[in-house]
Amino acid sequence: MLRVVPVLMLIAGSGFFLSGVSHAKDSVEHATVLDHTSVTYLSHCGGCHGIEGVSGNSFVPTLRNAVGGFACTDEGRAYLIRVPGVSMSLIRDDQTLADVMNFVMFRLAGTSLPKGFRPYTAAEIHQWRGEPLSVPDFMAQRGQTLERSLAACAQKTAKKL
């Protein structure tokens, strides 16, 4: 379903969402129409992570050009779904959440997205959101998960050279 979101005209100038823009027959002239996945990201995640995945100077991690760093290990791939903001999201439908996470990876992860990244499936979302991360030293574990994945990313790149 396509929805007209006039307030989002503010970001029309950025060009960022252009590939997600389509025009319904009854669309308001000059208003930006976003696809369902973009709107879902904006309403459920964008308030914290920023409309373009940049959260600025806050405790919320920046996704843009960064989040893909987790995706070179299975552990990191699962982490990105098990993290509380994703696993406990009010987006209850697994396929919709998979679409939002693939939007995050393919549209926001930018330079950090590992080559050959496989899109998340609804089955993966279903499994990992059933195992939400809840550890006392969350940030320490996040750091180790990222470190292991970045090391794996570097190895993959080295092998190709």
Cβ proximity to ligand HEC: between 51 and 101 the closer is: 101
Cβ proximity of 66 and 146 under 8 Å: no
Nearest distance from residue 89's CB to ligand HEC, in Å? 4
Binding site for ligand HEC (CB under 6 A): 44-45, 47-49, 59-61, 67, 80, 83-86, 89, 91, 100-101, 104, 138, 142
Cβ proximity to ligand HEC: between 31 and 150 the closer is: 150
**Residue 66's closest CA among 21, 105, 11?**
105
Cβ proximity to ligand HEC: between 28 and 132 the closer is: 132
Cβ proximity to ligand HEC: between 33 and 45 the closer is: 45
Nearest distance from residue 26's CB to ligand HEC, in Å? 29
Q: How far is CA 38 from CA 24, 114, 153, in A?
A: 16, 22, 28
**Alpha carbons 155 and 13: distance in angstroms, whole number:** 39
Angle at 47 between CA 45 and CA 51, to 5 degrees: 80
Nearest distance from residue 28's CB to ligand HEC, in Å? 27
Cβ proximity of 153 and 105 under 8 Å: no
- The conformation of residue 30, written as its DSSP 8-state character, comes to T
Nearest distance from residue 94's CB to ligand HEC, in Å? 12
| Residue that the structure tokens 């550890």 belong to | 135
Cβ proximity to ligand HEC: between 31 and 146 the closer is: 146
Nearest distance from residue 106's CB to ligand HEC, in Å? 13
